[in-house]
Structure 1
Amino acid sequence: MPAAGADDGATPNSPRSELRYRLFDEGDSLYTDMLAAIADARERVWMESYIFSADRIGRRFAAALARAARRGLDVRLHIDAAGSLFLAPARFLDILRRAGVQVREFHRWSWRDPWRYNRRNHCKLLLIDQQTVFLGGFNIHEENSLHYHGAARWRDTHIRLDDRQMADQAGELFDVFWTRRVHRSLRKDLPPDLFCGDSLVTNRIPRHRHALRRLFREGIRTAEARVCLTTPYFSPDRRTRRHLYEAASRGVQVDLLLPAVSDRRLLQMTARHIYERFLKRGIRVHEYRPRVLHAKTMVVDRRLATIGTANLDYRSLFHNYEINFVTDNPAICNALEDLFEADLVAARQVTLESLGKRSLLDRIGGYLGWRIRYWL
């Protein structure tokens, strides 16, 4: 796999022989790599996406999946029924099915069980054969493309992993939802130390429902020098907030990177409602200005890192099904913190003075959003 230059939105491969990786922060580079991987697949192409849009990006992926199916590969596409609502019409999915692609929609609306509609499959996962895994924040839509959206494209982060162990884990997790056996046991429990080695952490099965909260809390609790946290939606639960406060109180530099431009205005106002609590405890809050921020990463002391689909909000931590890659790989940790530092250059630091200039609408929206944060 060729090394990626900084100008194409990717980071070079890890020097650790047991795990080859590539980071992406530009959609066009990621989509090109994903489409090439699909074209080179020999056995299977399994794909999950919260949003799979029938736009120009989605049609390119649909064509690639159809070609793979016609070659006789095991091709599966699992999209979220709510996330792709109105974006992937039935006729679009039927074309894929006729080409031999197995297509399923996760948790379609049902009057017999309306409660399940609240639980969404927020994962973005592509598994190629038994060797390559893509995961992160990128959906399949034009909003992430420089070619189609120009300077207004979304800012996101994704990772490619070329590793048999990661592919085995991803395949097992994909199969849990595909076969609707979410209550079955996976091969092994979560490790005592989530940040030891490389692993995939998910909340897909009942006994792992708290895994993501544990992931964020463990990382923050063990921080000694710095926590760099990027999330588009920020309404952490009480215990996670307490861990952030305690980290700052023991001298850890805590930097939060949140969006100045958001696709979910109420969630942005909700986050701003609690900025003051963090600022008064010495936690630095930055708002990324150029475009919509959708990346979900955390780096601790340049020695621990996670990248994936989970936001630091109630929906990700309590309702949605998510998947994150966790690592103590020094090269990945350094690369993610370097991306964080580059984003800070394009961000403005929030102060108590600037926070006091919020509009009345922003204040009211934040107050109301915080009251219903569990359901947002």
Structure 2
Amino acid sequence: MDFDEDMEFTQELLNFLKQWYWIPVVFLYLGVLSTILIENRNPTKTLSWILVIVFLPVIGLLIYYFFGQKFNKVRRLRRVNDAQTLRLKKEWDRLEPYMEQNIARINDRIGTLSRVFTFLKNERLSSPTTGNSAKLLINGEGKFPDFLKSLREARHSIHIEYYIFEVDTIGKEVLHILEEKAREGVFVRLLVDSIGSPTLVRHLARQKDLNFEYRRFLPVTFTSMGSSNYRNHRKIAVIDGEIGYIGGINISDRYINDPANNNLVFWRDTSLKIGGAAVAMLQISFWNSWNLADGTPFQLNEGYLLHQMPDEDKKGNAAVSFVESDPGSLGPFNMEAILVGLGEADKKIQLVTPYYVPSDELSTALKVAAASGLEVEMMLPERSDSYIVQHASLSFIKPLLERGVKVYFYKKGFIHAKTINIDGKLSYIGTVNLDTRSFYINYEIAAVVSDETVCRQLEAQFERDKEDCELMTLSEWKKRNVWKRGLDSVCRLLAPLL
């Protein structure tokens, strides 16, 4: 074929592609849309993805590739969960009588609210434990002095799992202690989310003589871009198998409201320190995450479960269990545990969340609770750190106000706490936002606590925070700028994807 013939062939090929390019594009779109339908997602979420793909040509497909793929990945994560559960089955069966005794004790104390603990036991998420100590820690300035002290006093092991770990003042201090304790012979394992902690990932990659074990959770590479949507949002630490920390506070200076930090925003957050048999369940949670991240295996019976259940070493009066959920969970367990508690509420429900993009089930539960005579109060930040999520959240407020829910907007700074307090008898403290991402996509965990002191302190803190809030009324809500309300509605279309 000479040059002229080659040029003629090329031109004919280009003409053919210009005329018929839409055929492979149609097949590509049909393939993607068929995949979404086959996955049997929530119908609202399915429709949202279809709208994104249809009305954002090419860009919509890229968004779906990076953030929407679920089918194969979730099946793999579910297989991992099944394998982990199978490894613990024998011990779980052994503890069955102990768990039933504890639930009976909890029921004597809080009545039918104990059904939350029964739900967690039946789903084999966490054993109900009693005789624990529980200490509420408010803001970074309340948590970190206690946290650092526990790290320095570690004798056997330190296990840390965080979404955000900054290499700033507090982060460097924690790293220094981890190095120091590792040199002393303490087993130190650090697990961070690869997207949430990019600065730490780069920092540790440069370290040639790291003395402790470190893993990135679901690292994102070019070949694993589809996994980037699944993040480990948990913030837990387990020291010596005796002390556990859980809550919304990441390892970052921003959570410490110290004038020396020059923070532009006041951060209100909540964490919990736990001692006693419940820490064993938190240790198992870390163990599961560490195995999923392909960390060097360790056996739980090698001194890591110092408070093995049953345990008569009473540390306090708190009944504690944990609820975990992740993309491979059989159900949105964090949401379901909340729904069980809301359904058993008798007088008052107080919720604090930085993001409110609820499922239909949660929204209905709150509206029904308020309409049936319960006092339901919710606290949200007046200004969020996410523009789209903020406006999507606002679109869900009016139905709550119409049914009698009291909604407070926190004005002092950014309220990042994730807590629920029911009847002053049962509380949820953890990493779970009241949004679709926390319920269905992220790796999340919350402590379920029945302790009179903790519940009373949570209620008192809620009342103090009210002083820095504006109570929104339905009449005031209707006065909002029509353009802002329109923006809320547009952002709400993306709610199932957030």
Shorter-chain TM-score: which interval? 0.7 to 0.9
SS in 1 for 2:288: helix
2:293 counterpart of 1:171: no
Q: How do residues 320-335 of structure 1 correspond to structure 2 at under 5 angstroms?
A: 320-335=442-457
Residue 131 (structure 1) aligned to one of 230, 237, 242: 242
Partner of 1:133, secondary structure, is: strand
Q: Of 343, 356, 360, which aligns to 1:234?
A: 356
| Mapped partners of 1:156, 1:253: distance in 2 | 23
1:69–1:99 CA contact under 8 A, matched in 2: no
Relative to the length of structure 2, the TM-score reads 0.66
Moved more, 135-144 or 357-366: 357-366
Instruction: Report the Cα offset of residue 151 of structure 1.
Output: 7.3
**8 A Cα contact 1:143 1:149, kept in partner:** no
Q: Do 1:259 and 1:288's aligned partners in 2 also have CA atoms closer than 8 Å? A: yes
Q: Give the count of matched residue pairs.
A: 346
* 124, 138, 141: which one aligns with 1:25: 138
Kindly report the root-mean-square deviation, in angstroms, between the aligned alpha carbons of the 2 structures. 2.2
Give the secondary structure class of the aligned counterpart of 1:310: coil
Report the structure number with the largest CA radius of gyration.
Answer: 2
**What is the DSSP-based 3-state SS (H/G/I as helix, E as strand, rest coil) of the residue aligned with 1:152?**
coil
- Shift in alpha-carbon separation, 1:37–1:208, aligned structure 2, 3 A: farther
2:257 aligned residue: 146
CA distance in structure 2 between the aligned counterparts of 1:313 and 1:205, rounded to whole angstroms: 14
Deviates more, 1:353-362 or 1:267-276: 353-362
Structure 2 match to 1:49: 162
Distance 1:375 1:144, change over 3 A: same
1:106 aligns with 2:106: no
Q: Does the 8 Å CA contact 1:142/1:149 hold for their aligned counterparts? A: no
Unpaired runs of 5+ residues, structure 2, are: 1-128, 295-299, 301-317
Q: How far, CA to CA, are the matches of 2:242 and 2:262 in structure 1?
A: 32
* Cα deviation, residue 302, structure 1: 0.7
Q: Does 1:248 align with 2:248?
A: no
Q: Distance in 1 between matches of 2:331 and 2:171?
A: 31
- Per-residue deviation, 1:166: 1.8
Quick one: distance in 2 between partners of 1:360 and 1:276? 14
| Pair 198,91 (structure 1): closer, same or farther in 2 beyond 3 Å | closer
How far 1:358 moved relative to its partner?
3.4
1:225 aligns with 2:355: no
Q: Distance in 1 between matches of 2:355 and 2:327?
A: 24
**C-alpha deviation, 1:84, in angstroms:** 1.4
CA contact (8 A) 1:24 1:159 kept: yes
Shift of 1:259: 0.4
Q: Is 1:73 matched with 2:186?
A: yes
Q: Which residue, out of 285, 289, 293, partners 2:407?
A: 285
The aligned residue for residue 351 of structure 1 is: 473
TM-score, normalization by structure 1: 0.87
Contact 1:47 1:76 in 2 (8 A): yes
Letter of the 2:167 partner, please give it: A
- Matched-pair contact (CA < 8 Å) for 2:216–2:293: no
Task: Give the superposition deviation at 1:20.
Answer: 1.6
Counterpart AA for 2:158: V
**Residue pair 2:408, 2:469 contacting (<8 A) in 1 also:** yes
The 1:43/1:133 distance shift into structure 2, 3 A limit, reads: same
